[in-house]
Amino acid sequence: MKTIRTKEDYLQSLRELGSVIYFNGQRVADITTHPAFIPHINAAAKTYELAQRPESEDLATAISHLTGKRINRFTHIHQSVEDLIKKVQLLRLIAHETGSCFQRCVGWDAMNATYMTTYEIDQKHGTQYHARFVEFLKRIQSENFMLVGGMTDPKGDRSLPPAQQEDLDLFTHVVEKNDKGIVIRGAKAHQTGGANSHEILLMPTQAMRPDDADFALVAAVPLNAPGVVQIFGRQTNDERKLTGGMDAGNPDYGLVGGETLIVFENVFVPWERVFMLGETEFAGLLVERFATLHRQNYGGCKGGVSDILVGACALASEMQGSAKASHVKEKLAEMMHLAETLYAGSVACSAMGSKTASGAFYPDPLLANCTKHNVTRHIYEIARLAHDVAGGILATMPSEKDLNSPEVGGYVRKYMAGVKGVSPENRMRILRLIENMTSGTALVESMHGAGSPQTQKVMYGRLGKMDMKKKMAAKLAGVQ
């Protein structure tokens, strides 16, 4: 594969890849021309486009510590606190351009987590995983391809560990080893950007016991490898993407991240692409590191998306004549406060980051978990306030076809009118954008992406230093 620099390079690479992908029960021959995929591809393409703009080069690119060459920042291993902060700033910038998920963060976080953890596995066991991964990483940086981070397994019966599942394939695992490599079976679920990525970096989905050795796997797999099948997930109102236009809300960039279920049916992986196999004591550490790196992101991307939503609500209120109402001003101010609170959390956990044994930098895990936990609450409140400001018309508005109908279009224009001088069409476009950005799929992703609220609470228990806090309280109170 040649180096991907532009959007057209990216589109051509996806055409050449030819992954096996199904949508609505049918195999898709070319995702770059299919309306269900185009918005998500456009959003991911922004990660390439911004790297070509002089004004965003500092955020969108970095200097590789491996080769000394300038690379796309989405392939970079964080080398400083400044890198961690620039990551968050970049995510907010791209969110301003797309108003949706641009999908490339998951693979970026997987790369950084794997880089840190393989170094420590090698230190303990004398393995060669880190050296292998560095060679793979050099190729990622050189070719600038898009990597999906494959962590979440279907999990089956969650009361049972991987090795005790009735169907072992509910956790991705190794079924064969030979002198050339391994053969794997299983699946990864909720894979953001899977359809329009080039490779997947598989990781264990949870802490594991010695009996789970075949499931403690980190490996890179091309998404066009024999035996890899993707099934594209449905989203709220996704039929609107098939026709495009105003009713899609954000027709150019879609809704969330175009998630897929990725199936591995006896897929061969050569040894040079295996970066962990059987070291179960490191599975939990890798999961924690990936989760922390991914939770760091959310104040950047969700803060940026919320900026768009605040602007849309402000425009909607101006178009309907309620912008000067004190309660509307108050709600818009609260939305901005919540958005900036999310962003502040991401900046804070980045600023408090530290250097790991591998040399890569890592955000403060407690603050990163607080950031993501705030997202699970604040995004819902921002959406609630948006619904309040926009009004019930979000749920009942006529379609674009009705607007343009010779029979009823006149009625739609007459009764969708707002402030004098504002076209009914423009008002409807803004309302559709608000609907798109506050729909069910977007909210569910805010809740469960990078881990549900309960996972953050578990981390509070581990990282919150409760014993230290009790000692401080006891000292001040004079408790002996």
Q: Does 370 qualify as catalytic in the annotation?
A: no
Q: Does 313 qualify as catalytic in the annotation?
A: no
Read off the amino acid at residue 425: E
Task: Name residues whose C-beta falls within 8 Å of residue 477's C-beta, 6 or more positions apart in sequence.
Answer: none
CB 265 within 8 A of CB 332: no
Phi-psi region of 359 (alpha: psi -120 to 50; beta: other; left: phi over 0): left
Residue reference for tokens 């950047």: 300
Catalytic residue from among 40, 294, 373, 378: 294
Catalytic residue from among 101, 313, 349, 370: 101
CA distance 375 to 384: 14
SS3 229: strand
| Burial (0-12, 13-18, 19+ Cβ within 10 Å), 194 | buried
Catalytic residue from among 119, 129, 253, 298: 298
Catalytic residue from among 10, 115, 120, 301: 301
CA distance 410 to 128: 71
CA distance 175 to 357: 33
Residue 270 backbone phi and psi in degrees, to 5: -65, 155
Catalytic residue from among 105, 313, 349, 370: 105
Instruction: Take residue 425 and report the two structure tokens written for it.
Output: 């069409």
CB 145 within 8 A of CB 4: yes
CA distance 254 to 441: 11
Q: Does 192 qualify as catalytic in the annotation?
A: yes
Q: Does 298 qualify as catalytic in the annotation?
A: yes
Active site residues: 101, 105, 192, 259, 294, 298, 301, 445
